[in-house]
Amino acid sequence: MKATMYVKNRLRVSLAMGAIVLTVMSFDGRSVVQATDQGQMHVDITITDLGYSVKGHTMPDQLTSITVRNNGTIPHGITSPAFTTAVLKKEGDGVEMKDSQGKGYRAYHLQPGKTMTLHFSQASTPDRTTTQVPFWCDLHTHMKGEFLVVETRGEFGGG
């Protein structure tokens, strides 16, 4: 069931990307064409015992690989309300923690030195605005970070 959802989402994402490239070409939006030409988007999240450092951003409806690396000396977690719906699949060393009833996503935990990849795609908001995806460590709740889902479609005529 989850696999089927993933394939459907990928299809939808590919179609959306095709549409974006066509739209951009007719508006001669060179920088945006370059962004989509690189293919899948990527966000890097590095964890130390002091906190998170984040490189990169993504855009709505774009399949994005989020690499999360624990360079700390103790286990750390990562959780966000957005991950409940927007993470399509997890690969690598992260362990998915469930809620108290044993169902439903609660967080991912990573041992020191381990890496995981979250395949992420967040739908655009009804008002087409850039949004922040806040996340934090459920084991050490003072550790917080965020990345942006940058909406660009408004810039060339709301296509």
Closer Cβ to Cu ion, 21 or 139, answer by number: 139
Using the minimum distance from each CB to Cu ion, give the nearer residue, 60 or 77: 77
CB of 99 to Cu ion, least distance (A): 19
| Burial classification of residue 78, based on how many CB atoms lie within 10 Å of its CB (0-12 exposed, 13-18 middle, 19 or more buried) | buried
Amino acid at 66: I
Distance CA 95, CA 90 (A): 9
Write out the residues near Cu ion by the rule CB under 5 A.
Answer: 76, 137, 139-140, 143
Write down the least CB distance from residue 98 to Cu ion, Å: 19
Residue with structure tokens 């286990």? Answer: 75
Distance in Å, CB of 146 to Cu ion, minimum:
16
**Element housing 44 (H / E):** strand 41-47
Closer residue to Cu ion, CB minimum distance, 60 or 145:
145
